[in-house]
Structure 1
Amino acid sequence: MLLRKFMSLVGIGSAKIDLILDKETYTQGEQITGYFLLKGGLIEQQLKRIDCDLVKVENGTESMIEATSILTSRSIESEAANKIPFSFKLPTSLPISTEDISYRFKTRLTFTEGVESVDQDIIQVVEGERLA
């Protein structure tokens, strides 16, 4: 048991996070929905927070558009799976995705002890239909 705890503290067999989105392509100003899927590792771990940043990558340079944090003191049991709803409204002024501009959500799961779990999900932003 002590070996399992040590392994999870250095990131081997620790809990993981995965942001599951309903789709990959969105229009400017659209509401994005999905959920965070938390998967337990080898041992029970105490969660501290979930951070999710919308990042724009333009010509190789990253800039954060907006950040969301969920503070939590819940535990995730060994090998359990939990879902936490996710919702985010894209800014209407967001430039559309091009060859030089891309977007991704960077998600981090932080524990009271141990290494963070990190996930990245690429989305595409397209121009919305204009109403006459």
Structure 2
Amino acid sequence: MILRKYLSLLGIGSARVDLILPKETYKPGEQIKGHFLIEGGTIEQRIKRIECDLVLIDETAGTEKVVDSTTILTSKMILSEEMNHIPFTFRLPKSVPAFMKEKSYRFNTKLTFEKGIESKDQDIIQIVS
């Protein structure tokens, strides 16, 4: 039991997060409704927060820019091997540029625990006019 606890603190067997979206293509100003799927690891862990950033990637310039973000603060305990759904709602800014060949968007999600390594997820979306 102690070995599993220390391994989860290092990220081995810890809980994981996955942002589940209903589709991949959206319009500027559209509201996105999905959920975070949190899968418990080998031991129970206390969740501290979930952060989700909408990031603009410019392939030409080689840059990434956070366009907008949302944070859910919590002290929820996720049990070993438990499956948990947390609602996700995000309104895309109306000013967000639509799809261009050299630019793309993604949601970067980070699940932070009271103790242990963060769980991360990335989901690519397209924004069209």
Please, what TM-score do these two structures have when normalized by structure 2? 0.97
Letter in 1 for 2:120: V
Letter in 2 for 1:123: I
Take 2:75 and 2:3, find their aligned partners in 1: how far apart are those partners?
Answer: 24
What RMSD, in angstroms, separates the aligned Cα atoms of the two structures? 0.6
Deviations 1:77-121 (A, max 9, x none): 000000011111111111112211100000000001000000000
Q: Indicate the SS of the match to 1:51.
A: strand
Matches within 5 A, 1:101-112: 101-112=103-114
Aligned to 1:75: 77
Matches within 5 A, 1:18-97: 18-59=18-59, 60-97=62-99
**Structure 2 segments unaligned to the other structure (5+ residues):** none
Take 2:4 and 2:71, find their aligned partners in 1: how far apart are those partners?
Answer: 29
Which of structure 1's runs of 4+ aligned residues deviate more than 6 A? none
Take 2:20 and 2:100, find their aligned partners in 1: how far apart are those partners?
Answer: 23
Deviations 1:44-97 (A, max 9, x none): 001100000000001221000011111100100000000011111111111112
- Residue 17 of structure 1 and its aligned partner are, at CA, apart by 0.2
Percent identity between matched residues is 60
**Structure 1 segments unaligned to the other structure (5+ residues):** 128-132
Count of aligned positions: 127
